[in-house]
Structure 1
Amino acid sequence: MDTCTIKAKGISVSLDLTVGHIADMTVESGGRQLKPLHRAPWVDSGEALPTDLPQGTVRLSGDFLCAPFSRSDVEEAPLHGWTANSAWDVTESNATDGGWRTVFRLRHKVMGASVDKILTLRDGHPFLYQEHVFSGGSGAISVAHHPMTVMKGGGRLAFSPKRFAATLDDPLEPDPTRGRFMLAYPARSADLGRFPAAGGGTLDLTQYRMEDRREDFVTLVEADHGGPGWTALARQAEDDLVLVLKNPAELPITMLWLSNGGRDYAPWSGRHVGVLGIEDGRSAVGHAASIGDNWLKREGVATAFALGEGRGFSFRHVIGALSLSGGTPPREITTADGRMRLSTGGSPSDVPFDSTFLRIGQPVAA
């Protein structure tokens, strides 16, 4: 595997250059080495895989950029676009004052735009700071990050304030001979603890239970709260806390992919278990839907960035891990003065964090 590994004190990240997926992320916290990200069991296994799989599924790992998110039905490209399925080159890689910064360039153009991926690590910070920069091109593009974590014993979730959660018109696996699902489709709820279930009643979106074999997908729309958007997952067996943060003005939705043995066909084969995708985006499902009329736009939610010759845009994202969960995710996360404060109801915990990175309150390109 062609990888590039970067390190700072207490953290290392490896990027699979063949597809732009994070192949490994290791954080030293509380005297332990934490691995917050998932890698599909078939990657580099040597087993025969279906020949029609996109490379992004063949090498499904960690986190990757989707551009567009889901179907590439405007410009010909694989599922989730060339950003998730083709090669990236290292264009810069240098030590910084207290860390490391590496820039990667996608070999393909996306709607005529060049795409750069910038990964930054800081000494003593248990976080990967990411930025993606699009330059030039024409039309519009939807985007999403696709971080995936994995659990052996389930976990508990908490979120920054959301307006509501909603499912699509149809489930990911409607055919019971191929898979299964547990949420109702379509459905909507402002209470994340009481989301309509397929068989009647409700399910709690803040609980990930290993006994719930399912393939579900639900979109959370950020509320207007003035702070960073965040998802926190307290993994029970791992006894740690996985954190994913964004600027809601850039990425206004968080899509949860609950993949827990809910697909019976290859390469999933019922073995893709305990996986949670925490997919922050500016997107509907599919490129054409994102740039056309869609249900999110009717809710006032942006679903694409505009491209243009001589112009560009960028967006930022953060992934981290801490060994201080105690089985309970924080009720509140605030960032200021180079620190992150996590409040659980008892004594708050502070960790180093670049509180200027997400650029909250600054204008965002359309």
Structure 2
Amino acid sequence: MPGDAGNSRALVWSHGSFAVEALGGMIGKGAFLMADGKQVSPFFVAPWWDEDGLESYDGLTRGLRGEWPCVPFGYPMPRESFTSRWQTVMDDADNHSDVHGYGSNHDWDFAEQGDPSLVSMSIDYPEDHDVARLRRTLRGMPGEARIALELEITARRPCRTPVALHGCFALPQGVGGAELAVGQFGGGLTFPGVIEPGAALFAKDHEFTDLQSVPTLDGGVVNAANLPLAGSAEELLQLNGVDGTVDLINRVQGYRMSLSWDSTLLPSLVLWYSNRGRRGAPWLGRTLCIGIEPSATTFGLSPRTSAQDNPIADGGTSTALDLAPDTPVTIQYSVAVAPLPLTAAPPRRDLR
């Protein structure tokens, strides 16, 4: 069975066309039409998407692409590789069957509508989940190379839940062909453990204030805004106290991707560097993408770790959302592209 979900809807408007998959609610294959007439495809699509033999993998891995919501965000990891202050808050008994949440691994239901520039979808969670339902809308904005998105989270019972908007973006093949331009942030942290043995780059559990100067294992620093990285790496960084803006500048293809979101709800930005570092199947050292993930989380560690006291929360950054059954939480955000060099005003930062 090929990795492509097959059940999808087309999002089509004046400045773009994309497939939105039922599996995970993921947006991926397609293109924006920029003001200069050029078409660009900023979203990453896993290289195994059309391969056979993927039945044994979870839904997220099979369909990995583009962008989708993660509720709850995270999954348990063995704590042996983590620094001591993190080991004390990680719970070995925390068990979740769905990596990054039920909605990341199962099919969503599409709402029927006659407007091709709008896709509405929802997913109901099983009865034993704290979350009852997610609703997601994607709208291509007329006259703009921009998609406005909205996520509504409805709880079944009062709870604290980590949440992320999991963007995966394509990178050029050559080192330094792209650049991350993050907005203002209060401080950054390197990952406190090991994601992939033999593929670590950053020093464990270190603070930094500049993405262009991140501490490395060998005692030096690296420009983590310059992408792709040299060599193989599988890493995470978390920026806290963010202003809700980040750009990915793709010099090779000549465009700037701009992501904007409500940072009062999602005050952190997790950066996932999948830089040919993951060797097991189906990754096979061929995955080259940058995950740009507005979130309330602790690096995407287990939901229980994010919901309780932890080093990031102790530093003043919320790592989970408080949900109540009678008060759905709505998160608005947008993805836009513009040609390089910019000859007019920067891309609009509107969330809608």
TM-score by length of 2: 0.85
1:121-132 superposed matches below 5 A: 121-132=140-151
How many Å separate the matches in 2 of 1:149 and 1:204?
A: 19
Counterpart amino acid of residue 355 in structure 1: D
1:271-350 superposed matches below 5 A: 271-273=286-288, 275-284=289-298, 285-324=301-340, 326=341, 349-350=345-346
* RMSD between superposed Cα atoms in Å: 2.1
Question: Deviation per CA, 1:65-119, whole angstroms, max 9, x where unpaired?
Answer: 1111121786743100111110111125343xxx833321114345242110111
In the alignment, is residue 208 of structure 1 matched against residue 227 of structure 2?
yes
Structure 2 residue ranges without an equivalent (≥5): 1-5, 77-92
SS at match of 1:290: helix
Counterpart amino acid of residue 206 in structure 2: A
Q: 1:2 to 1:297 in 2, by over 3 A?
A: same
Deviation at 1:23, TM superposition (A): 2.7
In the alignment, is residue 19 of structure 1 matched against residue 24 of structure 2?
yes
Please, which of 246, 255, 258 is the counterpart of residue 261 of structure 2?
A: 246
Please, which of 95, 105, 112 is the counterpart of residue 85 of structure 1?
A: 105
Counterpart amino acid of residue 236 in structure 1: R
Question: Deviation per CA, 1:268-297, whole angstroms, max 9, x where unpaired?
Answer: 111112x10001111222210111111221
Aligned residues: 322
Residues 50 and 266, structure 1, Cα contact 8 Å, conserved in 2: no
Please, which of 38, 41, 48 is the counterpart of residue 44 of structure 2?
A: 38
SS at match of 2:98: coil
Counterpart amino acid of residue 190 in structure 1: T
The residue that corresponds to 1:222 in the other structure is: 241
Counterpart amino acid of residue 147 in structure 1: G
How many Å separate the matches in 1 of 2:213 and 2:350?
A: 33
Deviation at 1:41, TM superposition (A): 0.5
Counterpart amino acid of residue 168 in structure 2: M
Residues 164 and 192, structure 1, Cα contact 8 Å, conserved in 2: no
The residue that corresponds to 2:277 in the other structure is: 262
Q: 1:208 to 1:112 in 2, by over 3 A?
A: closer
Percent identity for Structure 1 against Structure 2: 22
How many Å separate the matches in 1 of 2:201 and 2:209?
A: 18
The residue that corresponds to 2:72 in the other structure is: 68
Deviation at 1:301, TM superposition (A): 1.1
The residue that corresponds to 1:363 in the other structure is: none
Q: 1:315 to 1:258 in 2, by over 3 A?
A: same
In the alignment, is residue 168 of structure 1 matched against residue 182 of structure 2?
no
How many Å separate the matches in 2 of 1:49 and 1:17?
A: 17
Q: 1:76 to 1:172 in 2, by over 3 A?
A: closer
Please, which of 46, 63, 75 is the counterpart of residue 59 of structure 1?
A: 63
Counterpart amino acid of residue 315 in structure 1: I
How many Å separate the matches in 2 of 1:132 and 1:31?
A: 31
Deviation at 1:243, TM superposition (A): 1.4
Q: 1:130 to 1:77 in 2, by over 3 A?
A: farther
Deviation at 1:50, TM superposition (A): 7.6
Question: Deviation per CA, 1:154-197, whole angstroms, max 9, x where unpaired?
Answer: 31121110111101221211x22xxx121111111112221101
The residue that corresponds to 1:360 in the other structure is: none
The residue that corresponds to 1:100 in the other structure is: 117
Please, which of 174, 178, 182 is the counterpart of residue 155 of structure 1?
A: 178
Question: Deviation per CA, 1:27-52, whole angstroms, max 9, x where unpaired?
Answer: 00111111010000111222x3482x
Residues 155 and 324, structure 2, Cα contact 8 Å, conserved in 1: yes
How many Å separate the matches in 1 of 2:213 and 2:155?
A: 44
Residues 217 and 256, structure 1, Cα contact 8 Å, conserved in 2: yes
Question: Deviation per CA, 1:247-286, whole angstroms, max 9, x where unpaired?
Answer: 210110011111111111111111112x100011112222
SS at match of 2:313: helix
How many Å separate the matches in 2 of 1:251 and 1:270?
A: 31
Structure 1 residue ranges without an equivalent (≥5): 327-341, 358-366
